[in-house]
Structure 1
Amino acid sequence: MNDAYEMSYALPDSVEGLLQRGRGLGAVRAFREPRGSAAFVHDGILRDRRWDQSDERSLYLARLVRDLDLSLMPIVDMLAGDEEACLRASEVLVLVAVAGSGDAREGLRTYVREGEHWVRVLESLSARWPPEWWEDLGDVAHARIGTEPELPLWSEPWTRFGIEVQSSPFVPRPSLSGLSTAELLALLADARAEGRTKADALRALSSRDPVEGLIPLVPTLGTSDGRRPLPLLRPAVESLGALAVPAARGWARADHPWLAQLGTEVLADHPGPEALPGLVNELAEQWLARAWCGPDRTARRLARFGPDAAKAVPYLRRFWLHTPHSHERTAYLKALAAINGNGLEHVYTESLWDCQGTTRLLGTTSAPTNPEALDRIAALRDDPMETAEVRAAARTRLAPLPADCPAPVRTSQAFQDASRCPS
């Protein structure tokens, strides 16, 4: 984690503050003020403004660099900084190159030939670029790798270059997704099965409809030393939803601390009506303390009450507008939609420019059907930098448009109109 807890942020309604937080409105306003925003974008690459590693910025910043037609030279120059600054700059340049910038591509290729942190940069670009963009750097890699201290190397691009991989490459375990639910439950109940195999079974169950047969097995699904739950048990239990609540009351009183904690968390995630005032107060206290890490869980719990949690709405809106922890914005928007979805059209539209993929996904599926939003969704669908999930959702959203739907407008107009999003 970076020094986020000691980091100061600009005002949340300023262009600088919006960009620091990765807000969609920041991208909208930066597009309208490109000359004044350039320094803020470059600063966002130079300094890590993320609250923690779950916050996303690279694609957001790369898109701003491309859409604002900003100079790449300051970013290329950042490659000469320390390792963290170099990798932040390289992540942006890798994406800008994917979007079609030959200068970004050549800047990174030159760095691989000459730069200090070339190993990690080469691994980064090989993960996103087609092989024909980098496989001719094999001679460079062979010449330079012998001068490096021993490093853990991933499979690409080293195996393609015929360079020995110093750490054992990850070998995927056989998928158990082909087993029936009954077979997976039998495997989990088998005392002879290894913990890793049971974790694979839990992974398979987590992607299916809730399986009540898992509930009686939960107390047996701890590690061999009895100190922790098996990996992926929590997601599998979460997939059960309210079905796990009756059993969780017993788990919460268990002797094994991990099981008691799991039971307590399940009960907290499915609160009864008596818990509502306390949860609203908890969110209010988190706002007063400016506790940027954790209110998303409170928001998810409040969302289960629907309109009855109306008193939480002002705090949820404040967190949405102010938090630097962009990873949590998705939870606030979902909670607002569950409690009172009125007036969220502009918020969903703004989300189409958000730094977080999960928030852009919400915007893609829920933004109003108007020319501005549809134009932006089309841009996300066609953007090679965008995540596969968002692009797929955009294709789905645009596929069934009725014949009389208004034609999309120019992207620049969409930016201008989306700036009406409330701040």
Structure 2
Amino acid sequence: MFEPVIAPSGTLLGLLQRGRGDGTLHALTAPRSEALSALDHCVLHDPRHDWQVENRSLYYARLYLDLNGGLGAIQRHLFDPDDTLDPDDSRTGLALSVLGHLASYDRLDALRLLRSYAEYGANWAWALDELALRDDDAGLRALAVPVLARFPADAEGEAALTEAVRDAFEPRPWRLWAEDPRPEIGGRVRAAAERGSFDRWQRQLAPAGPRPGWSVRAVLAWAQEGLERGAALHVPAARCLTAVAGPEDRAEILEAARHGADAERGTALCYLADANDPGVLDLLEEAAQSPSRAVADIAAETFERMRSVAAVERARQWAGRPDALGAAAGRVLACRGGAQDSQLVLAALREAVRGEGPDAPTLWPLVDGAGRLGIGCAAPVLRHVYRETASSHLRGRAARALAATDPSFAAGFAVECLWDCEESTREVAARHAETGDARVVNRLRRLAADPAEEDDVQSAVRSRIGPDAPAV
């Protein structure tokens, strides 16, 4: 999947791509054709940097309902010839999820489109999962023949069917089809389910990787072999060392931490950090200056996971270093430092935004830390991150930090957050948004009545407008 191109945050398209509440509010006041064009663009060209964790589907589905938007663009996208050439989930997953939510709002055109795509589309399994949550038994049973026709009645086809049944995210359709009296339907599905259970049992009996009987040298070699294959195994290898290493092995592990190959060195450092070895902080500082980028990054990553008082004290010394270890030290203080570390955390936050921009992964713990420590001076930087980041998760973290640091949040960003794409952000807004704005009261009531809204959001809403709550 190509990296999405995100429009500027001040445009309607940029707001919708980010999933911001202001995107919905602007779309509802913009010319309808312009709003629907921007909405279709977002759904057909997934704007998320990480589509597996960021939410957009319910946000876009609600906007289709509010705009009474048609589904012609989605239909053309799903059944485009590219569907057979590019079956990757990222091309059609968002559109199918939007259709699923629309079907839950009783949009029959969305339900019919999902059924049709489950019959003929390349990403049929995703469509089937959406239907498993929304369609009735009769609709699902009607799909048995076209779906099973995808699997030829030969060894290769039966193996593919076994994998599909075993790995199905939503098992309901397969369970319905297993009850079918026809041998070519129920018989095949039941046989595939049995084979899948047997395959899983075999894998459990023959786990790969090191065992407690291995030596320290064997575990280190396993980690290095993994790195040479392109797999980073230093963290699981360090856990294996915990099982196989004894006090008599410390000298060998220290030697590996100083002079081993990259993966061996990383494994030894992780093991020593987990064991709170008294010399590990000095070893990490030495490794951070290694000419090997892999070793330097592992050193910073390992230090960031440490929870000891000594690690926090060392972070105060290392914060501000112009390397990966200095950045990690800022994040350690953000997560585990005290009020006395506020200026160091603020400096790390400013430097991260200035040097890496509003989408930098390092911002996540720093933004959380600014809110945890209540750093009021961080509010301008947090507002910048909130406006500009393309990550809806990072924006939600910025919203929570602003709720703790910015007195203007309740009357400002909290209002638009009621329309945000992330449920956790809507929950923050439901708890803080100032109800003097009529839009807030109306939105709270709509969220309370929406069956698609998450329980945590509705609980927050009811704490503001419930029968025992003060009048809003």
TM-score scaled by structure 1?
A: 0.69
Per the alignment, residue 28 of structure 1 pairs with 25
Distance in 2 (CA, whole Å) between partners of 1:368 and 1:274 is 32
Distance in 1 (CA, whole Å) between partners of 2:70 and 2:469 is 41
Per the alignment, residue 16 of structure 2 pairs with 19
Q: How does 1:23-422 map to 2 (within 5 A)?
A: 23-33=20-30, 34-53=32-51, 54-80=53-79, 81=83, 82-83=86-87, 84-131=90-137, 133-146=139-152, 150=160, 151-153=163-165, 154=168, 155-162=171-178, 163=189, 164-165=192-193, 167-168=196-197, 223-226=239-242, 251=276, 253=278, 261-263=305-307, 264=311, 268-288=334-354, 289-292=356-359, 293-306=361-374, 309-370=375-436, 371-400=438-467, 405=471
**Identical-pair percentage:** 27
Per the alignment, residue 207 of structure 1 pairs with none
Letter in 2 for 1:29: H
Contact 1:51 1:325 in 2 (8 A): yes
Q: Which moved more, 1:393-402 or 1:67-76?
A: 393-402
Contact 2:61 2:101 in 1 (8 A): yes
Letter in 1 for 2:448: R
Q: CA deviation at 1:47?
A: 0.9
Distance in 1 (CA, whole Å) between partners of 2:93 and 2:25 is 26
Q: CA deviation at 1:44?
A: 0.5
Alpha carbons of structure 1 residues 364 and 291: separation in structure 2 relative to 1, 3 Å = closer
> Secondary structure in 1 aligned to 2:143?
helix
Per the alignment, residue 239 of structure 1 pairs with none
Contact 1:352 1:364 in 2 (8 A): yes
Taking only aligned residues, the RMSD between alpha carbons, in angstroms, comes to 3.2
- Greater Cα radius of gyration, structure 1 or 2: 2
Contact 1:99 1:383 in 2 (8 A): no
Contact 1:79 1:87 in 2 (8 A): no
TM-score scaled by structure 2?
A: 0.63
Alpha carbons of structure 1 residues 96 and 334: separation in structure 2 relative to 1, 3 Å = same
Distance in 2 (CA, whole Å) between partners of 1:302 and 1:141 is 51
Distance in 2 (CA, whole Å) between partners of 1:253 and 1:268 is 24
Distance in 2 (CA, whole Å) between partners of 1:37 and 1:367 is 26
Q: CA deviation at 1:157?
A: 1.9
Alpha carbons of structure 1 residues 259 and 281: separation in structure 2 relative to 1, 3 Å = closer
Contact 2:334 2:366 in 1 (8 A): no
Letter in 2 for 1:384: P
Alpha carbons of structure 1 residues 48 and 224: separation in structure 2 relative to 1, 3 Å = same
Alpha carbons of structure 1 residues 167 and 363: separation in structure 2 relative to 1, 3 Å = farther
Contact 2:40 2:73 in 1 (8 A): yes
Distance in 1 (CA, whole Å) between partners of 2:413 and 2:423 is 15
Distance in 2 (CA, whole Å) between partners of 1:89 and 1:318 is 30
Contact 2:274 2:306 in 1 (8 A): no
Unaligned regions of 5+ residues in structure 2, if any? Answer: 179-188, 201-237, 244-272, 282-298, 312-330
Answer 1 or 2: which has greater helix percent: 2
Structure 1 residues 254-287: Cα deviation after superposition (integer angstroms, max 9, x where no partner): 7599986332476651213442222112111222
Letter in 1 for 2:23: G
Q: CA deviation at 1:355?
A: 0.8
Q: CA deviation at 1:118?
A: 1.9
